[in-house]
Structure 1
């Protein structure tokens, strides 16, 4: 019982609210997974063309580089 209580307290300690004045920091482009989606898509296109395989990256192309 103590272990469960300790574990739940530890997990709940990670829950935090974001204050309104802190949301501006989270909205910056540097915080995005892909700050430039167009460049990321181009890199995925080049990778799938060079590897002669498709799938797994969300790009539906063949090995020739055609759409």
Structure 2
């Protein structure tokens, strides 16, 4: 019984710590979070161009799919 009580206390403590990290972002604060440095892909146009070139080199039928052949020459 004591083991279940300790596990419940630990779970409650962990839940309190996770909930404490949640916050509401105000509209005037969103500009700080929308900076280009925060993006998963900071330069999507360059990435798209490289993917297109790589797909053309590999003679893939669809985008980056590993279909088709090609020598992969530059």
TM-score class normalised by the smaller sequence: 0.5 to 0.7
Question: Which has the bigger relative contact order, CA under 8 A and spacing at least 6?
Answer: 1
Name stretches of at least 5 consecutive residues in structure 1 with no aligned partner. Answer: none
Name stretches of at least 5 consecutive residues in structure 2 with no aligned partner. Answer: 1-7
What is the number of equivalent residue pairs in this alignment?
61
Match of 2:64 in 1: 59
1:20 aligns to 2:27 (yes or no): yes
CA-based RMSD = 3.1
Alpha-carbon separation, structure 2, partners of 1:20 and 1:5: 32
TM-score by length of structure 2 reads 0.54
TM-score by length of structure 1 reads 0.58
| Rg larger in structure | 2
Alignment check: 8 A CA contact 1:48 1:63 kept: no
